[in-house]
Structures are given as C-alpha cells and as structure tokens.
Amino acid sequence: MLTGELAKQPQGVQDGREELLIAERALNRLTEQDRAAAEAAAARSCSGGGRGAR
C-alpha cells in the first residue's frame, strides 16, 4: 500500500506545480492590468482633462 501511495506523489507534486504556474500567470496578468489602469489614470490627471492652466 505504501509503495502505491509513494508512486502517486510525484504526479501530485507536478499537478501542484502546474496549478501554481497557472495562478502565477493570472496574478501577473491582473498586476499588468492594474498597472495599466493606474498609468491611464495618471495620464488623465496630468493632462488636466484637456483644460489649460489659467
């Protein structure tokens, strides 16, 4: 019985690594989207909404 359980462990580890890679990619994608949104907001606030300073 123990031999069968030990044989399954490498596949379980590989499955866990794949899940972590997927989660990391999703996190990176969200981080990039957040950064892009922050940059767009900063660009809008720096431009003054199209109005010149008086």
Tens-digit pLDDT profile for residues 1-54 = 678 887 888 889 999 999 999 999 999 999 999 999 999 999 999 886 555 555
Q: What is the pLDDT of residue 29?
A: 98
Residue 52 backbone class (left: φ over 0; alpha: ψ -120 to 50; beta: rest): beta
pLDDT at residue number 49: 56
The whole-number pLDDT of residue 1 equals 67
pTM of the model: 0.64
Burial 19-49 (b: 16+ CB within 10 A, else e): eeeeeeeeeeeeeeeeeeeeeeeeeeeeeee
Residue 15's pLDDT is 93
